[in-house]
Structure 1
Amino acid sequence: MSCPASSIIARVALLAAVSVTGLLSLAGCFTERQNEGAQLYASHCANCHGDQGQGLQRLIPPVAGADFVAQRRADLPCIIRKGLKGPLVVNGVSYNQVMPGHEDLTDSQITNLLNFLQTHWGNKNQPYTIREASDLLGRCNGSDGQ
């Protein structure tokens, strides 16, 4: 049994169209996740740390170009989960305000948020893996395993 060439071409064209449609819809699945760190920063952090991570004078420390972000890498997941109070120094400036924790974020959301901070506004630090963030969150009993 043989198929006419036009039938084969039509099937190949249909298969190609279905494949392209599938890939485009799959790309859409990752688009939101890809920008999740920026979205989480905007909704959970920007009100205090500023839209561009600039902080607020001597009241709230910057996260943009912040030595603290690089130097306290192991502490950052727990700081986001549990918050922070007490004095700290960022780029040579002392701060002493309360930062609320974000218990509502999953480990993977914290990872994406941290990776956004690690790679934006002059920060050029190594991204976290989900495993690293979850392990670090375990130190403060903050890992939810998600």
Structure 2
Amino acid sequence: MNRIFTILCAALLLSACGSYESFQNEATKEYSSEQMKKFAKYMIQGKTLYTSYCSNCHQADGAGLGKVYPPLAKADYMLTDMSRSLCIIKNGMQGEIKVNGVLYSQKMPDNNSLTDLEVAEIATYINNSWGNAKGLVSVKTVQKSLANCKD
């Protein structure tokens, strides 16, 4: 029921705005109107999901939490390997990780309850917020990446 309410609110917001320019970035400047609609929906839903699943540790601004939790904003680790990042969003991770030259070792729990669409929405939001500009992350990309995750 919450998901339906969120989708209805997103649709209302999108129709009220009449434009998707506020979502456009360097990666999406060539998107068609239909592609921008989909991108905007992913961004809105992705932000909601990010707030629920990720922001407690990585913070609302993606800056991370000191040397405990790594940043996602302009994070070299995440932006250089989409497949690995999608696996981490869904399956969590443990062990050391180096992000922007800083080592982190806090365990990240899995999010196995997330659907492939929800992973795509979160990844789209993260990859297009706080100075990141990577465009839409498709469900197909998520499915392919998750099928090849290393244990």
Same fold per superposition (TM over 0.5):
yes
Q: Which residue of 1 aligns with 2:81?
A: 72
Greater RCO structure (CA 8 Å; 6+ sep): 2
Q: Which SS does the other structure have where 2:112 is aligned?
A: coil
Q: Does 1:56 align with 2:79?
A: no
Instruction: Give aligned-pair identity as a percent.
Output: 33
Match of 1:135 among 140, 144, 149: 144
> After the TM superposition, which residues 23-42 of structure 1 pair with which residues of structure 2 at under 5 Å, given as runs?
27-28=11-12, 33-34=41-42, 35-42=44-51
**Distance between the aligned counterparts of 1:44 and 1:87, measured in 2?**
21
**Aligned equivalents of 1:44 and 1:66: distance in 2?**
18
1:63-111 residue CA offsets vs partner (Å, 9 max, x unmatched): 0111112112111111111101011111111111100010111000000
Q: Distance in 2 between matches of 1:132 and 1:75?
A: 12
User: Scaled by the length of structure 2, what TM-score is found?
Assistant: 0.70
The CA RMSD measured in Å over matched residues stands at 2.4
Moved over 4 A (4+): 29-34
- Which segments of 5 or more consecutive residues in structure 2 lack a partner in the other structure? 1-8, 16-39
One-letter amino acid matched to 1:46: S
Q: Does the CA-based 8 Å contact 2:83-2:146 persist in structure 1? A: no
Q: How many residues align?
A: 117
Match of 1:97 among 98, 106, 120: 106
Q: Structure 1: which amino acid aligns with 2:12?
A: G
For the residues of structure 1 that align with 2:56 and 2:94, how far apart are their CA atoms? Answer: 18
